[in-house]
Structure 1
């Protein structure tokens, strides 16, 4: 016959409570171990009762090092120079020269050497500047008849002054034509064409001789 256990004697019903109680006790012991502090006052001393001998210490003087001696000064060597020897030059003067009253001394006139002007030299400023045929009025008339307003400049509305530089030779012909300052739109090329096709000018003169002269002239383009 199998023995039966009473429900009150069954300990498995209270196993959870015992487990929680054990955990609670163990956690409490751990916290107590961490928070527990012990103090050891055996080596503590009252600093007010400690006798010291700081006042009995001797004052140590500051050692002063003497400055280094100055370097020796080298005295300049004085050399004795003997007195300069005076050299006497004997000048012989001959007073036995016969001077005739008829002897005439000509005055020497120093004149400036003539300036030779080379024909290849190009002048910027001369005494007599070159002139176009008919003067400046004739030049303006020539420009009015031969200068054509470029189509591109007219379409783009470009107007202004083109500055042309060229050389007038001794025979009045024109060469080395170039644009000094242009405005574009075909106006520069038209100004060069008109100047290159111009008739011969009257050459410039320096001291009465024809020379090559560099000229700078404005050519104006204006819509109207």
Structure 2
């Protein structure tokens, strides 16, 4: 399944709040830089800002699900790209 950047943003909004973090009343923000190769595969994920490990793991899990992304294009050809993805975990 190929996922668009907009679908990625939507899945980030619907992340599962980790049970451990909910019980401990933990909150935090993770900022990830996602590198996508020209075939739409996640080539690398770099955490620019980390939070509790359970949040970091949930972001990695969501970004690396078994999907590919629609690669960016330049002059009509697919190219590698990157996107910064901020993820806020807040109890409501």
TM-score range, shorter chain: 0.7 to 0.9
1:194 match: secondary structure? helix
Matched, 1:206 2:74: yes
CA contact (8 A) 1:179 1:192 kept: no
TM-score by length of 2: 0.78
Partner of 1:149 in structure 2? 17
The CA distance in 2 between the partners of 1:173 and 1:197, in whole Å, is 11
Partner of 2:56 in structure 1? 188
Q: State the Cα distance separating 1:162 from its structure 2 match.
A: 0.9
Q: State the Cα distance separating 1:210 from its structure 2 match.
A: 1.4
Q: State the Cα distance separating 1:166 from its structure 2 match.
A: 1.8
CA contact (8 A) 1:162 1:182 kept: yes
Residues 62-108 of structure 1 show CA distances to partners (whole Å, capped at 9, x for unaligned) of xxxxxxxxxxxxxxxxxxxxxxxxxxxxxxxxxxxxxxxxxxxxxxx
Higher relative contact order (CA 8 A, sep 6+): 2
Determine which of 158, 167, 178 is the counterpart of 2:46: 178
Q: Which has the higher strand share?
A: 2
The CA distance in 1 between the partners of 2:9 and 2:83, in whole Å, is 16
CA contact (8 A) 2:40 2:70 kept: yes
Q: Which structure has the bigger radius of gyration? A: 1
CA contact (8 A) 1:204 1:213 kept: yes
CA contact (8 A) 2:28 2:52 kept: no
Q: State the Cα distance separating 1:142 from its structure 2 match.
A: 2.5
Partner of 2:85 in structure 1? 217
- Alignment length (residue pairs): 89
Matched, 1:158 2:26: yes
Q: Which structure 2 residue ranges, 5 or more long, are not aligned?
A: none
Which segments of structure 1 move beyond 3 Å, counting only runs of 4 or more?
none
The CA distance in 1 between the partners of 2:48 and 2:66, in whole Å, is 18
Q: State the Cα distance separating 1:212 from its structure 2 match.
A: 0.8
TM-score by length of 1: 0.36
Instruction: Give the superposed CA RMSD.
Output: 2.0
The CA distance in 2 between the partners of 1:178 and 1:189, in whole Å, is 12
The CA distance in 2 between the partners of 1:141 and 1:198, in whole Å, is 16
